[in-house]
Structure 1
């Protein structure tokens, strides 16, 4: 099978999701709901750099996934409803790969990669996936389906490490009228 996202930039990938209801519905299973854009983020936020933010989806906790700036490839910032947030990926496809491939962004940033090379974090994520499978028995098949239709890569390995590096980048820390958000990293 050819890679369906080959040559597709962030805007085209987002347009594919918006124009294909079954793909949008599939992503809702992964708590990435484009219909939540209508409600906006829980509060107005900005970045220190002044780059514009565009909400593209929300999650069940009230968090928002926001594209930064303009252009064919844009970083993605997560703005949490509990005052935590930051950069999760340098492009939309990688942000989706994380959303689809991990139990959730919060679990993936709950502990550091650490001196063990991320072994404890990966064990934690395996445990959270096992808990998900208890009420979502088709999790693995749904992940494969989403990755195939959107041309996403696996979320483990370099992409998980990139999430941690991105979340530490203070330039992308959301700022509200109350000040900067907390880091998602624990």
Structure 2
């Protein structure tokens, strides 16, 4: 769906054809669902139907973590928090309160910069049966915190957590 690619950076066309570079620890079967513009990928991992598996986000910069318990939840979270990456970046190492603060600033930035997102979100919700998540910030926080596997680089080093150590006060545009 083009709307997910252009507005959520979840591009089915960017799903890696070669996933030989991905090694999960502990080992789990996985399937690359989509890619994103900076080279990261979204994987469904574990057993069972693909759309019911947890979703791992793997960045091209060496971070990885579970961001949703299934594909439907992932899409719902992306529609509720199109700036979810900023919440992880400004999470102060996984602090939920700090993520909520970053969400307040990010929401305003996103509304100002991407005015067309609201209409795109409505079109996606009219097309896909996606539930509304009561507390998407907490969902993202809890999923990343509960990550049960990681990616191991070809040199044997494990990828880092998706939580970064920045605080919202570290962004000079957020006051």
**TM-score class, shorter:** 0.7 to 0.9
> What do you get for the CA RMSD once the two structures are aligned?
2.3
Structure 2: segments with no counterpart, 5+ residues: 165-175
User: Among residues 100, 103, 108, which one is paired with 2:82 in the alignment?
Assistant: 103
Aligned to 1:131: 109
Shift of 1:75: 0.6
Alpha-carbon offset, residue 133 of structure 1: 3.1
More moved, 59-68 vs 133-142: 133-142
**2:54 maps to 1:75:** yes
* 1:36 pairs with one of 5, 10, 14: 14
Alpha-carbon shift at residue 169 of structure 1 (Å): 2.9
Shift of 1:155: 4.7
Q: Secondary structure of 1:171's partner?
A: coil
Give the 4+ runs in structure 1 shifted more than 4 A.
Answer: 38-41
**1:61 and 1:37 mapped to 2: Cα distance?**
12
Aligned position for 2:4: 27
The structure-2 alpha-carbon separation of the partners of 1:126 and 1:39, relative to structure 1 and needing over 3 Å to count, comes to farther
Number of aligned positions between the proteins: 158
Q: What are the Cα deviations for residues 95-139 of structure 1, in whole angstroms up to 9, with x where unaligned?
A: 11122221333212131574xx63x43342232233233342121
Gaps of 5+ in 1: 1-23
Deviation of the 1:39 alpha carbon:
5.1
TM-score, with normalisation over the residues of structure 1?
A: 0.73
Q: Provide the secondary structure at the position in 2 that maps to 1:176.
A: coil
- Cα contact 1:46–1:52 (8 A) shared by 2: no
- Give the distance between the partners of 1:88 and 1:176, measured in 2 at CA: 20
The aligned counterpart of 2:163 is 185
